[in-house]
Amino acid sequence: MNASACQREAGVSCGACCGIFNLDLRNAGPDPVRARSDLLIERTRAFATVRFDQAADFVAYRQAREAAEESIPRFNSEIYACPFFGLIDWDLSTDSDLDVSGDINANGDRDGEGEGESGASGRTGCLAHPARTGLDHTQNFSFYGASICQAYDCRNKDQDADQEQRYSRLLARWFGQERAPGSGASESYARLMADVPLYAFLERFDGLIDRLARSDDPQSTPLCDFLRLARLRMATLASAGITSFEVEMQRHPDLEAELRSLLARGPLQADQPAMRDEANPISAQTIATIVANFKAMGAGTK
């Protein structure tokens, strides 16, 4: 499988545009990441009963899963969460949790494809994709249909491809090891990879992503600032419900103002009230430091 932002490496894949993060699992148990992982495993096991040459099986699977997941709140009620999104390499013969060991090589990719003894890889994707079923039409049983599913590339995927996949490698290197228990899928990678406003903000600093991608020391500036920024962004509601359909924020002439907006934790939607104490939890000093350090590289800003 050719590496891309969608499928970086085993266990480090995205799928935000399939709506997996639109499912609000924050109250689904003590660990929302584990809850999402369990949901993916549940879907994948259920899909194993689908005979690829039987249309009725696809229809029945979709109806059953939509009913099973109907009660899960959505961050955005207008965006569909596709139940055909699952674990495309899950080994049903062993059906065991993934061992996510594997060293990172010089390219920032993981050696050994991250495969554990079970042979599962933690790779997420479309269970009905022709590459799995061997049949051209099977994604037509999904809500969007094959033509839309296969034609859609988010803004970040396009940008990443144009920039020799530096950003997806960077994210895989520093966040790809954060695997969900059970499925072994990296939620951190996916949520950052699909984050259009975050990537657009970083691109405002000429040469920043290239420099981050070449940096090895997590304590060094600006890599340390980027890792901190990514964590702060992942603490926001906007990141929790990421879909890749988010419009790029209007470029603010004031970089600090744009970063402040990026890190505001709520509300997710305009009609929701802000949580008073969470609306702007990041100090002005932190915002100013990150922007100053990114600017200090000597390159211009856009």
Which chain residues interact with ligand SF4 by CB under 6 A?
A: 5-6, 14-17, 153-154, 156-157, 193-194, 244
Nearest distance, CB of residue 108 and ligand SF4, angstroms: 17
In terms of CB distance, is 185 or 290 closer to ligand SF4?
185
What is the spatial distance between Cα 118 and Cα 190, in angstroms, rounded to a whole number?
A: 23
What is the sign, positive or negative, of the torsion defined by CA atoms of 164, 87, 112, 170? positive
In terms of CB distance, is 149 or 290 closer to ligand SF4?
149
Nearest distance, CB of residue 69 and ligand SF4, angstroms: 19
In terms of CB distance, is 154 or 185 closer to ligand SF4?
154
DSSP-assigned letter for residue 281: -
Q: Which two three-digit tokens encode residue 207?
A: 């040469």
What is the spatial distance between Cα 299 and Cα 208, in angstroms, rounded to a whole number?
A: 8
What are the φ/ψ torsions at residue 8 (nearest 5 degrees)?
Answer: -70, -50
SS3 breakdown of the chain: % helix, strand, coil, rounded to 5? 45, 5, 50
User: β-strands 12-13, 85-87: how paired?
Assistant: unpaired
Nearest distance, CB of residue 278 and ligand SF4, angstroms: 26
Q: Which two three-digit tokens encode residue 135?
A: 């049949």
In terms of CB distance, is 221 or 245 closer to ligand SF4?
245
In terms of CB distance, is 6 or 170 closer to ligand SF4?
6
In terms of CB distance, is 95 or 158 closer to ligand SF4?
158
Instruction: Give all strands (DSSP E) within the chain, no chain letters.
Output: 7-9, 12-13, 85-87, 124-126
- Give the residue from 88, 87, 81 showing the smallest Cα distance to 62: 81
DSSP three-state, residue 13: strand
In terms of CB distance, is 245 or 286 closer to ligand SF4?
245
Nearest distance, CB of residue 207 and ligand SF4, angstroms: 23
Nearest distance, CB of residue 256 and ligand SF4, angstroms: 28
Nearest distance, CB of residue 137 and ligand SF4, angstroms: 21
Return the axis-axis angle of helices 284-295 and 255-263, rounded to nearest 10°: 130
Q: Which two three-digit tokens encode residue 43?
A: 């879907």
Nearest distance, CB of residue 15 and ligand SF4, angstroms: 5
